[in-house]
Amino acid sequence: MNELVQLHCSAITANTPRLDDNEINQYLEKLSGWWVSEKEGEPCLEKVFHFKDFNQAVDFTNRVAHMANKENHHPTILTEWGIVAVAWWTHKIKALHLNNFIMAAKTDRSDININRSMPPGKIIPELVYDDLDQAVVWLCQAFGFKERLHFRNHRCQLVLGEASFIAKANPTLTESSNNNRLQPQPNQMDHSVLVRIEDVDQHFEQAVKSGASVISPPKDYPYGERQYSVEDIGGHIWTFSQSIADVDLSEWSGVLSDNPEDAF
């Protein structure tokens, strides 16, 4: 991982030292696809990102905006259909600063973190239902959720505004010999929490050091996520997920809502 991603922006004053040409070239070598240009007579770092449609471009723009607010350093962003142009600069010193290169590296990470197979949000509950189809219909009718994405007959992503959760079919249902009804197995956990993070491996190391019980170590999955699962001190199951690719949902039988723009 680019070490610039781990850094944070520092406060800038009119007296803050400017980067010289050698320093600029050294930092540029740590980035991919960025170049130095000039806007309104001031140098800036620029890059153009390409996406498959307007929704992905807007999603990426929102990620960059959120990151910029966290670091209190803001770019110029031009969003078009399938294209987002980002420029980082530092007006106070009218020159490039390390902050610009830090934010460029973080912007590249924002690009990686786009994956259509994942619902919006950072913390995503996962709830198990014995009859998934019936539950989805009820949840939409009762609570106003909208179906975002359905995967065969085992899970469905539901959204409401900026909130989302995953409804899952009970994987341990068995057929009762007495009345032919489906019954859950004993001790089956009926809920868990999915949390989206930037670095699964580093996070996993900290969790293990702190005593979390490993259910499954970090692993790459075909739906574009690298994940691990652990059990906390209360017996609750947590899955931490890092997006590593944007996956075509049709490749693994994912079916988007008829009105996907209403479910983001």
CA 54, CA 198: separation in Å to the nearest integer? 24
> What pLDDT does residue 103 have?
94
Give pLDDT < 70 ranges for the chain: 1-2, 110-114, 172-190, 247-264
CA 230, CA 35: separation in Å to the nearest integer? 42
> What pLDDT does residue 248 have?
67
> What pLDDT does residue 183 have?
41
| Domain 123-263, CATH number (from 3.40.225.10, 3.10.450.630, 1.20.1630.10, 3.10.180.10) | 3.10.180.10
> What pLDDT does residue 40 have?
82
Label residues 204-232 b or e (16+ Cβ within 10 Å = b): beebeeeebeeeeebeeeebbbbbbbbee
Query: Which tens digits make up the pLDDT trace of 121-159?
Result: 778 898 888 888 888 988 888 778 899 888 877 889 988
- By DSSP bridging, strand 174-175 and strand 182-183 are antiparallel
Task: List where CATH 3.30.1360.20 sits in the chain.
Answer: 3-112
Q: What is the maximum alpha-carbon separation in the chain?
A: 81
Task: List where CATH 3.10.180.10 sits in the chain.
Answer: 123-263
CA 251, CA 222: separation in Å to the nearest integer? 9
CB atoms inside a 10 Å sphere around CB 133: 13
CB atoms inside a 10 Å sphere around CB 49: 21
CA 114, CA 60: separation in Å to the nearest integer? 7
Query: Which tens digits make up the pLDDT trace of 207-218?
Result: 999 888 999 999
User: Is the CATH number 3.30.1360.20 carried by domain 3-112?
Assistant: yes
Rounded to two decimals, what is the model's pTM?
0.53
